[in-house]
Structure 1
Amino acid sequence: MSDEIADDRRVQPIAVDNGAPIISFENFAALGHNQGRYAISLTVGIPVSMSDGSVPTVHRVVAHLYADARALQTLRDAIDKCFVLSADAKGKAQ
């Protein structure tokens, strides 16, 4: 048995980029696809004080996500794993 790991199982190093944006969102405004590319516009609600004293929430697009099906599946898998982590943490706290 070899100590080497098959190429498809190697962990790929990721360079840390402190300039990468952190995107916080609450919803999406639009989504679509064209020729194998998918698009999702992510939004956040921002309270805005008006001169009449009201404070309506204005929804603004904070990012446009463009990806192919493989990349979206990878994102879906990561989101699913976040929910599993959350469920595990809740189970340990009880």
Structure 2
Amino acid sequence: MDLTRIHCIKEWQVRHRRTHSLESRAWDVLLTVWVMGWIGWLPAYALDALWALPLCLVAMLGPDLYVAWRARWHRLNRLRCDWLPAASLPRRPHVRG
């Protein structure tokens, strides 16, 4: 997942924080773990803590896995996901200025 899509979901979470506070907090935790995965893989490799590399990989894939899981449960009508359209927005064109 690219940063544009992560940003769109985060924007939706911020706009709806009052009505979806648990979802907003869950996304914040997910993003924290995501950053920890990206930051942690190099020290884990450098310190020969190879057991931590799969954990870092799962953390780095966290947003993709979470969105896929939520989309699946939304399609099955088991869990409502109001922010799902924000995850599938087309990319905004990059404007230089």
TM-score (norm: length of structure 2): 0.31
Q: Which structure has more helix as a fraction of its residues?
A: 2
Q: Relative to total residues, which structure has the larger strand share, 1 or 2?
A: 1
TM-score (norm: length of structure 1): 0.32
Larger radius of gyration: 1
